[in-house]
Amino acid sequence: MENKSSPTRPIDEQLYLLLIQADFLVENSEFEKAIIKCNTVLTKHPENQTALYYRGLAHQGLGNMLAAKEDFSYCIYLDADFEEAQQALNDLQKEFDK
């Protein structure tokens, strides 16, 4: 019997692991590394809202407010019910208004 198992992980599992890593990196203020993880996801899945959200948080952590605003806005464009992205965008706008 032939072994049909693949040496690589299924894309959904890879995606999931990258997003977990991005979340962890953002939580630990390793923003540059988080952006790299998110960009890896977004290269294959450009409309992945979770990756856009985490990348927005990472950009915000680095002080790249325009890039953060673009990521949060695109999240909301893709899914108007993405409450975390809406809240992040609202908080960011408050910072711009100061």
Identify the structural domains of the chain with CATH numbers, from first to last.
Answer: 11-97 (1.25.40.10)
Question: What digits encode the pLDDT tens for the residues 1-33?
Answer: 444 444 444 558 889 999 999 999 999 999 999
Q: What is the pTM of this model?
A: 0.86
62 vs 96: which has the higher pLDDT: 62
**pLDDT class of 94 with cuts at 50, 70, 90:** confident
Integer-rounded Cα Rg, in Å, for the chain is: 15
